[in-house]
Amino acid sequence: MKILAMTMAAMAATAACGADYVDSCDNIGTVKLKGYIGKRLDMMIDKHVCGTDIDYITAVFQEKTETKGWWQTEFWGKFMHSAVPYQKYTGDAALKAKIDHGIDVLLSTQEPSGYIGNYPDELRCGEGWDVWGMKYTMMGLMHYYDLTGSEKALAACRRVCDYVIAELGPGGRRGRELWQTGNWSGFASSSILEPVMWLYRRTKDGKYLDFAKFLVKGMEEPAEGPRLIDLALKGISVADRNGHGNSPETNGGYVMKHNRWKAYEMMSCYQGMLELYEVTGRKELLAAAIATGEDIVKEEINLAGGCASSEAWFHGARKQHVAHEHPQETCVTTTWMRFCEKLLALTGDPKWADELERTFYNAYLAAMHPSGAEFEAYTPLSGSRWHGMHHCFMHTDCCTSNGPRGFLCFLKEFFRVMADCAVFNYYSSAVVSGVHPGTGKKIAFDMYSIYPRQDYVRIVSHTEGVGAFPLKLRIPGWAAAPSVKLNGQAIEGVKAGAYFTLAHEWKLGDIVEIRFGMPVVAHRIDNWVAFTRGPVLLARDSRFADGDMMEPYRRGSVADGQKMSSFSPVRTPSDDIWMAFSAVLPIGSHTDNPEARNESQVYFCDFATAGSEWKRGNYYRTWFPVLIGPADK
């Protein structure tokens, strides 16, 4: 297996620098974001997380009447996945009280069997999203345990898992295996593997590890099952995994029983496999996840770091220039960020940090309402922004519930103190701190930057008396001319797409300066062109009122990978646009006219705030047509 051999080699090359990462929220509170990004986070916590009506999203557990196979019981668990870390981040007492109240309501609904959900007994653990809902309930209970040490919550989580084992485990009462329940060839239900592993890691009870192994067996052995290991290691793209032992539906419906192309649920399964890998060391689990992640980058991720059409893989990277149905769902975006975060943690490979950054600054921030109060469901690369869906006859939806989890990925991996070094993965104005693992002394830095509006970062040491301790700086793969200075002295050996290590005995007031080099670059697909600057996708916006956005670029005027020297940063026209650029470009088709032959000045902004008025009259575009001639295809 050539793919397996290549992936194993990559694992061996990178594992050493990622071995000390911890996938938890233990470092929440050690990073305090400032500036524009900090403001976006604070608004989201205030208006969204703290603003959630906890009685509304827990009421569904008090009724056992769900007969349509819906997913109301996911909303509370998703809320807890972000509410608990953000309560640690802010120390907000009112949010803590809301979390406590939700737990009290939830625990009051647990049946003697251990079940927490809203399906009647005859419909449980079958079709629909019942197991999926229990997955998120388990996650929420364990987040509460991590916050408070509540043995009551942990015991309730154990009882939920014990119920699932009794119903769907080996010899279970329902007479079917877990992967045979739910939708998408078992992806949705099988993703319960992640909280099962969380539970094992908190209790060390071997029956949960045994159940986790049983779940993975169901994901790899049955011919018609998820097949998440062998198909990945054979190099089969995520969009092409149907027809290998299964008979997929072709009706194009939203919910399908057998298709294997559902993005969110597939990545959620790999998230659990990576948890099992950490415990067992079974290399195929990591290799399959890495191969899948690399395929997603190559075949699915667009220039905004988003992916999927109607939440399904479809070789979208090569189709991103044309309109497609329900593009880059926020649940997919958030789950992709979590997948990248986990791969970064396990491999230490900065390419996963690059991918997470691209998604964060584009698809993720674009999906968040300017107020922070909600997330849109689908965020097209060209069009307008709009409010999300109402799910299950409720005034919420999966994307609004899932959205805050994405910011956590950026926040958690922004700065890490590990056994042998400290690491900056991302850059923004922030105050960061940690504890030296050997001496117990404080490590702290103050970062000032308006990155990625500019390519300059200034880091000041507030660290003293810890001895020599390396600081690793991620240099993004797109960086054109990266440079690093320490106390005004340039340091050689800085390379794009790698970590740069400063081995230094830090003193109070030491200053690190980084410049990345951030040219605007053109990207061509067929006869269409788009532009990026560093990690940011650029867009034209109707608020600039600078002409027809579909005016074509002239034939032969722009090539793939071309650096565009005519783009210049300019003052933004309003506070709701983050960054703006003017560009003099060869657009227009009437080149037989001397006046029309001249180039035109137009304006671009960042994709995240393109269309940020969230109304149909405010529209934007990222891909633009290029004229073809009679000999062109």
**Would you list the DSSP string of 469-513?**
--EEEEE-TT-SS-EEEETTEEES---TTEEEEE--B--TT-EEE
Tokens for 229, please give them.
Answer: 């290991």
d(CA 134, CA 118): 10
Q: For position 302, what pLDDT does the model report?
A: 98
545: Cβ contacts below 8 Å, ≥ 6 apart: none
The pTM (predicted TM-score) of the whole model is 0.95
Structure tokens given for 27: 């470092």
Q: Taking every pair of C-alpha atoms in the chain, what is the biggest distance, in angstroms?
A: 83
Burial profile 400-416: b = 16 or more Cβ within 10 angstroms, e = fewer: bbbbbbbbbbbbbbbbb
Q: Indicate the SS3 state at residue 412.
A: helix
pLDDT at site 22: 35
What kind and span of H or E run contains 466?
none
For residue 31, the cross-strand partners are 432
For 270, the enclosing helix (H) or strand (E) is helix 263-280
The identity of residue 252, as a single letter, is G
The alpha carbon of residue 401 and the mean position of all alpha carbons in its chain are separated, in whole angstroms, by 14
Contacts of 438 (CB under 8 A, 6+ apart): none
Structure tokens at 100: 């406590």
51 exposure class (CB count in 10 Å sphere: 0-12, 13-18, 19+): middle
| Regions of the chain with pLDDT less than 50 | 1-23
Q: At what angle do helices 330-347 and 398-413 cross, to 10 degrees?
A: 30
Strands (E), 13-79: 31-33
Q: CA 530 → CA 296, 302, 335, 533, 626, distances in Å?
A: 20, 11, 25, 11, 10
Angstrom distance (rounded) from CA 44 to CA 410: 14
What does the alpha-carbon distance between residue 560 and residue 582 come to, in Å, rounded to a whole number? 20
C-alpha neighbours within 13 Å on the C-beta side of residue 621: 20
With H, G, I as helix, E, B as strand and everything else as coil, classify residue 224: coil
- Each residue of 260-296: b (16+ CB within 10 Å) or e? bbbbbbbbbbbbbbbbbbbeeeeebbbbbbbbbbbbb
Task: Kindly state the tokens that stand for 410.
Answer: 């950026």
Average pLDDT, the chain: 93
